[in-house]
Structure formats: C-alpha cells, structure tokens
C-alpha cells in the first residue's frame, strides 16, 4: 500500500490560515470530513466522495478540537476562545447544546458507555492549573473536574479497559483516568519529551512525541511497558489510525510530511511530502483517503491509499 496525490480542496479564508483537529462522519449517504478551521472560527465540511467543500459551521470561537461518534450521531467541538464545548447531531449538523468548561479547551475524548465527554483544558495562561471537564451529554452540564499534572494534548477512550488516556506535555506521561470514577488511575512514563498525538490500535497506545519518536506502549500482565520507539523526521502533531488496514498516519509540520506505520509489524512503511506547517490530517476509511491541511495554501491536500 502507498499514498498517491489525489488533488487539492480549497477552503474558505484563503492562504495562510490555521487548521486544527478533524474527524469523519460515516453516514448512510456517504462520509463527510469535519475540520476545525481555527482562523475562521468555524468547522469546514468536506464531502469525501466528491472531495468538494460543502459548507462551514460558524460561530465556534477559536475552535480547536473535533470529535465524532458516528454510531451515536454526535459531533463535538472544543471552542477554545469561548471556554466551552459544542454538541451537534452530526447527521443534520443541528446544534443542541453548548456547555461551559475550563479555560482553553483543546483535546476531546468520549466515554461511549456513560455518554460523558471529556474536555481537556489548557488553563489560563496556557499550562497553568490544567483540568479535564467531564460533561454529561444527556444532562448538558459538567459533572466532574479533574486536575491534570501538566498541559494536556491528545486523548482517547479505551472501552476495553474503561480508561481515558491523555498525553501530558510535561511531565512526559500518558495519564490514565478511570472512567467509572472518574479519577486519576496512574501515569505511563513515555521517556520522550512532549507527548502529543495519541491513538489506540490493536491493544496498544501509539504516542507521537515532540522529541521525534513514535512510542509504542503495550501491556504485560496488566502492566504498561514501552515496546518500541520508532524515529520520526521532526516534532509530530496529529495521528490518524486506519483500523482495517492496520496503518497509523503521523503528521509532522516541519519539514511538512506524513509518515505511515504498520501497527502490527511496528515499522515505517513510507513518508510523503505535504507542506511546511501542515501539522494536522484527516482520514476517511471508506474512500481510503488522507487529507493534509495546508495552511500556506489554505486548503486540504488529498492522498489516496492504493
């Protein structure tokens, strides 16, 4: 398998605008990609079959995080400058709740069992008194606030262990939160500065760290341990996992590349060029397309997995 260039999608705002997280809605009428266009305070929507820009969801001040649960028809955003999360019904993009959380919300994770949204907040100023807000989607309110040991980055919910895992920049750990509490249930020492992107694949955690390493964490008799460290070409940001193909895509803003790893063999497959500053990506499983958001050009570079 290899990535091949598949075109470019121009997005509103023009050149030199910033993007952040994205996620894909897998609907009965086809898939749509939603990306946080932070510079325009909006979510841009892309049709993945036609690779066409459809529309934008406006008035999401400083939007940073995007998380979709297609099975439950939910779209979540973290509106960093407004200190809130927004909750949409994704199929028709109807906004049905906005909930105030801690200062500068960023990463998101969703506990599907309890329908709890975790908003990981950077604090004010950023890196000070960082917290996680646990939001009940049904009650539309914050149920718990959890103190964090440092600045949070990416996060994910693992239903098999009933844990939420979140990368902490410094100290360089993956923090585990027992979702049944919810409460702090331990730290995994990454051993590389600046844990950033995070994905769960095949029972392992893949942590992309600023130090230029992809750190693979597994478990032996319930105890986490680092299985392997794979080199990266720079400081990474977003990671995307394709479960069906056992592939992990790691975006590196400088020098502007995406590196692809096999999550079973734990080895690099290839690296493709994107654009300087393209630190965020999206993945659409049905069309096997990768989208790299290019701030200099103001749109999405499309790659096809062949």
**Backbone angles phi and psi of 8, in degrees to 5:** -140, 140
**How far is it, in rounded angstroms, from Cα 251 to Cα 299?**
16
β-partners of residue 268 are 261
Beta-carbon contacts of residue 85 (< 8 Å; ≥ 6 apart):
76, 77, 78, 79, 98, 99, 101, 105, 108, 117, 119, 133, 135
β-partners of residue 202 are none
CB atoms within 10 A of CB 98: 16
Domain 3-305 maps to which CATH number in 2.60.40.10, 2.170.190.11, 2.130.10.10, 2.40.30.160? 2.130.10.10
Cis peptide before 283 (omega within 30 of 0): no
- pLDDT of 83 > 90? The answer is yes
CB atoms within 10 A of CB 108: 25
| pTM, two decimal places | 0.96
Strand order in the sheet with 152-158: 152-158, 163-168, 173-178, 183-189
Helix and strand numbers, DSSP H then E, in the chain: 0, 28
Q: List pLDDT tens digits, range 28-68.
A: 989 999 999 999 999 999 999 999 999 999 999 999 999 99
Q: List pLDDT tens digits, range 103-114.
A: 999 999 999 999
Q: List pLDDT tens digits, range 172-188.
A: 999 999 999 999 999 99
Domain ranges across the chain: 3-305
Look up residue 192 and give its two tokens.
């590389």
**How far is it, in rounded angstroms, from Cα 286 to Cα 289?**
8
pLDDT band, residue 16 (cuts 50/70/90): confident
pLDDT score, position 14:
82
CB atoms within 10 A of CB 233: 15
* 3-class DSSP assignment, residue 191: coil
């Amino acid at each position: 398998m290899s990535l091949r260039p598949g075109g470019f999608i121009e997005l509103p705002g023009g050149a030199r605008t910033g993007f952040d997280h994205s996620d894909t809605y897998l609907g009965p009428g086809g898939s749509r990609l939603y990306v946080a266009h932070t510079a325009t305070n909006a979510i841009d929507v892309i049709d993945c079959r036609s690779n066409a820009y459809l529309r934008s969801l406006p008035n999401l001040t400083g939007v940073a995080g995007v998380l979709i649960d297609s099975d439950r028809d939910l779209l979540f955003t973290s509106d960093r400058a407004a200190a809130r999360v927004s909750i949409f019904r994704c199929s028709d993009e109807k906004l049905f709740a906005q909930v105030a959380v801690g200062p500068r919300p960023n990463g998101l994770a969703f506990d599907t069992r309890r329908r709890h949204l975790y908003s990981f907040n950077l604090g004010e100023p950023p890196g000070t008194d960082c917290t996680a807000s646990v939001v009940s989607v049904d009650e539309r309110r914050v149920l718990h606030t959890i103190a964090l040991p440092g600045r949070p980055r990416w996060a994910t919910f693992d239903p098999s262990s009933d844990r939420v895992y979140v990368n902490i920049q410094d100290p360089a750990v993956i923090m585990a939160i027992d979702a049944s509490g919810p409460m702090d249930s331990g730290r995994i020492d990454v051993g590389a500065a600046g844990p950033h992107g995070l994905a769960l694949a095949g029972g392992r955690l893949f942590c992309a760290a600023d130090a230029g390493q992809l750190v693979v964490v597994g478990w032996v008799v319930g105890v986490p341990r680092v299985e392997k460290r794979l080199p990266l070409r720079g400081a990474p940001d977003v990671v995307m996992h394709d479960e069906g193909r056992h592939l992990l895509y790691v975006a590196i803003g400088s020098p502007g590349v995406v590196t692809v790893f096999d999550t079973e063999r734990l080895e690099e497959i290839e690296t493709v060029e994107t654009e300087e500053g393209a630190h965020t990506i999206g993945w659409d499983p049905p069309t096997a397309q990768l989208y790299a958001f290019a701030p200099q050009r103001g749109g999405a570079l499309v790659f096809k997995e062949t």
